[in-house]
């Protein structure tokens, strides 16, 4: 039996000013951003090392780069990856180091890693 006290949420329409205003703000941000590039870089780490530098292979000097690291191994709380983007001109890298959960540094393990990036020209 249906509950007669249920209130249905109002649908968002094109005339909803807050939503329309938010869309206009997003359009403005994108128009100022310039050209947006995105992609995935595959990197195979063949030997454990304290630092892994993954070249992003950009052919332009970006204003901003956002990059994330992923791996196909099973997740574990014992792997603490530290990442940051560095570079200048057209040479940008995702630098990856690894720390043990006790504060000491350990080597980045071998394996295949993927970097998903967004770069704004």
Q: Give me the residue spans of the domains in the chain.
A: 42-120
Note whether 67 and 87 are within 8 A (CB): no
The percentage of residues in the chain with a pLDDT greater than 90, rounded to a whole number, is 41
Question: Residue 31: what pLDDT?
Answer: 73
pTM of the predicted model, to two decimals?
0.68
- Which is more confident, 37 or 1? 37
Mean pLDDT of 88-100: 89
Statement: residue 86 has pLDDT above 90 = yes
Rounded to 5 degrees, φ, ψ at 4 are -75, -10
Strands (E), 33-110: 36-45, 51-55, 64-71, 80-88, 91-99, 105-106
Mean pLDDT of 56-60: 94
Note whether 115 and 45 are within 8 A (CB): no
Please tell me the least confidently modeled range out of 5-19, 56-70, 99-113: 5-19
């Amino acid at each position: 039996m249906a509950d007669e006290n249920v209130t249905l949420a109002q649908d968002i329409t094109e005339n909803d000013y807050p939503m329309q205003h938010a869309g206009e703000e997003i359009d403005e941000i994108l128009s100022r951003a310039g050209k947006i590039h995105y992609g995935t870089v595959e990197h195979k780490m063949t030997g454990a090392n304290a630092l892994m530098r993954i070249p992003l292979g950009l052919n332009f000097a970006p204003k901003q780069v956002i990059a994330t690291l992923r791996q196909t191994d099973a997740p574990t709380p014992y792997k603490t990856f530290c990442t940051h983007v560095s570079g200048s001109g057209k040479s940008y890298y995702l630098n990856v180091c690894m720390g043990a959960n006790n504060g000491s540094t350990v080597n980045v393990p071998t394996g295949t890693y993927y970097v998903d990036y967004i770069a704004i020209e």
